[in-house]
Chain A
């Protein structure tokens, strides 16, 4: 396994990023995507003609319309399903396309309107079986938060604890957002503020759920060699592993919690579950900051246990006492995450990892950051280094 794993290590890099977050009521998702692409090109010092690959998630417009809009033809195009779990795979496909010579520079791009015309997210709840977060509309099981709420409830049932254990997560990310000029939610949040925030789906409160906003995002991947000649310092893609899926990984949960048809057992990652570290040649101890998908706060607990930063049921203690804050043992979501920076599906999380490794994060910079992991509860991960 090791030879294969090393074949991709540091061969590709993120060369350019572009991000818009906020409210753009007069804009469409297409125009926001185009603007983010333009920003990323300028960030990398690339021109339109240099980008010969495009990957995106369907969100109110499609890849061919985007290419028409930017006046580009490419030789590698792919489009996926618009859920946060599929952002890491896009970056991975970009890296693999570049490493195999199918493209020289791949842009993964997204435009998002919280009310996106042509978007069909609500209809997904009626899919055969259950919706993509376990929804079942006839029973009032509605919205993505349902998936996180039922998983959190099982977690507390198995390991003890309660909603209050999520407060340190929401508070840490809010603190980080206050150091981030583009963050959408920046009001100070005390523990009392958290505990006073209204229930959405018990055991989740308002402050356990991200907000919807508009924006655009783009990340450009090139070969490592090419990245070294471009405008910004390369951020190498050192290790990666895919979204793990199946009956044991239902929706927004951790294996073993017993959500839907999952078995009930204390989950500990196997060597195969941690392939990205092997590819990157690092361990959990080398990770200077963890970036994780946090549309809902319990997902952070699940990510910590999924990647073995702590054992089964230990994450609710792990997140306390500032350990996951800037300056702590393992800073998490240093830009504020989806919970407080904003909801750009997950692109903004990756862009934060890139900016941290370029050392351009000002007051929220992780001191001397060398290795940053994106790793989420479903197992998808990209390990970056500078």
Chain B
């Protein structure tokens, strides 16, 4: 992959993420359907958003590390207003914050879950969504019970 700074896919009207150069390993892993974040060689902790040093101990020695993909739904809101025409057929939709087992929280959507079934504290697992621009978004879905 290469860095990408396209805000919008013209064909669908969908907003795209910027792929910043230092974040390429995250996006490349998502293409392979793997969730990787940075993990500190010093204190062993992972973090998000992606950044140049460990925000816990400020070590600059770290590596990309595969996360378990398991987490808890920590927070959510429901969009009723469509910010652009693309969202008119999608509202109401939820934006969630997921707390990974490893600690960091990601802002994503929750796939395969009716709005009425969303509960703070519910177990979730990572999922992936292919979007225009050859980009794969990290997403989450409800974890199957007793899995």
A residues whose Cβ falls under 8 Å from a Cβ of B: 123, 126, 128-130, 134, 136-143, 146, 149-150, 153-154, 157, 198-203, 247, 258-261
Q: Is the C-beta of B66 less than 8 angstroms from some C-beta in chain A?
A: no
Asked whether, in the complex, the Cβ of B7 is within 8 Å of the Cβ of A261, the reply is: no
A296 CB, nearest partner CB in chain B, Å: 12
Which of chain B's residues 98-112 have a Cβ closer than 8 Å to chain A? 104-105, 107-109
Whether B76 sits at the interface, judged by CB under 8 Å, is yes
Complexed CA–CA distance, A134 and B47 (Å): 16
Given A137-B17, A153-B75, A247-B55: A143 and B83 within 8 A (CB)? yes
Q: How large is the interface on B (under 10, 10 to 19, 20 to 34, 35 or more residues)?
A: 35 or more
A199 touches B20 (CB 8 A): no
12 more contacts with CB within 8 A, not counting A128-B18, A138-B14, are A123-B7, A126-B5, A126-B7, A136-B107, A137-B7, A138-B131, A139-B109, A153-B77, A157-B75, A199-B80, A201-B77, A202-B78
Question: Given A129-B49, A138-B17, A259-B97, A201–B78 Cβ distance below 8 Å?
Answer: yes
Q: Report the minimal beta-carbon distance from A115 to chain B, rounded to whole angstroms.
A: 16
Given the complex, which residues of B lie within 8 Å of A140, measured CB to CB? 15, 79, 83, 87, 90, 93, 95, 109
Cβ of B74 within 8 Å of any chain A Cβ, yes or no, is yes
Chain B contacts for A143, CB-based, 8 A: 83
Q: Point out the residues of chain B lying under 8 angstroms from A129, CB to CB.
A: 49-51
Contacts of B93 in A (CB 8 A): 140
Complex Cα spacing A153 to B120, Å: 10
Q: Distance (Å) between the CB of A204 and the closest chain B CB?
A: 8
Chain B residues near A200: list those with CB within 8 A.
Answer: 80-81
Instruction: Supply 8 A–B pairs (Cβ within 8 Å), ascending by A.
Output: A126-B5, A137-B15, A140-B90, A142-B15, A154-B75, A199-B92, A200-B81, A201-B79
Whole-angstrom distance between the alpha carbons of A137 and B137 in the complex?
12
Partner of B108 from the list A139, A142, A258 (CB cut-off 8 Å) is A139
| In the complex, B16 has a CB within 8 A of chain A | yes
Give A368 to B20 CA distance when docked, in angstroms.
56
How far does the alpha carbon of A6 sit from the alpha carbon of B137 in the complex, in Å?
Answer: 53
A261 partner, pick from B18, B76, B104, B108, beta carbons under 8 A: B104
B64 at the interface (CB under 8 A from A): no
B48 located at the interface, meaning its Cβ lies under 8 Å from any Cβ of chain A in the complex: yes
Task: With both chains docked as a complex, state the minimum distance between the C-beta of B3 and any C-beta of chain A, in angstroms.
Answer: 11
